[in-house]
Amino acid sequence: MRPWHALLAPLPDGAVPRRQPVASAEILAMPEGAAIAGWEQLVLELTAGADGLRTLLVVLDRDGSPIAASDHVLYRSERDVDGTIEIEYEHASLGGRLEDGGSFKGTRWRAGSVENEAGDVETSAEPSEPTDSDIAAIRALVAELVRRAPTAGED
């Protein structure tokens, strides 16, 4: 696994998020879309080849202030168990709302599944409260993504 391909890990050098609206033009044109008009999201997808995928997302309000963030990591691996191939998926995530004053309202998740050749699947999911170090790490990632993001209209 690459060092940056873990939940809340620092970003690799040169990683630049893309900037896009939070919803399609059709949604934003609807009366209900007015509430999120001008909001954007910064998205950064980092692949680790066969090891998996990491996706970071920051939602910016119309003033450009970060209001929500998430970091998701998905790993996929195969293993031979007594001649039977099992596919294992592990998902770790932390996401929630960024609030004034430095607080963060969100949840950390760890989920997984194992599937064998017969199609039998075992799953697990476990939510937990983010720790103070989790909140500091997600806030640092948000600041870094905002710093690295192209200015509006550049990407």
Backbone region of residue 119 per phi and psi (left: phi > 0; alpha: psi in -120 to 50; beta: other values): left
pLDDT at res. 152: 72
Domain residues of the chain, as ranges? 18-148
Q: CA 103, 109, 114: angle at the middle one, nearest 5?
A: 170
Q: What is the pLDDT of residue 154?
A: 57
DSSP per-residue letters across 59-72: EE-TTS-EEEEEEE
- pLDDT of 104 reads 93
Of the candidates 57, 55, 47, 52, which has an alpha carbon nearest to the alpha carbon of residue 74? 52
Calpha distance 60→68 (Å, rounded): 7
pLDDT on residue 76: 85
Mean pLDDT by runs of 10 across the 155 residues of the chain is 78 94 90 90 89 93 95 89 86 94 91 88 94 95 96 65
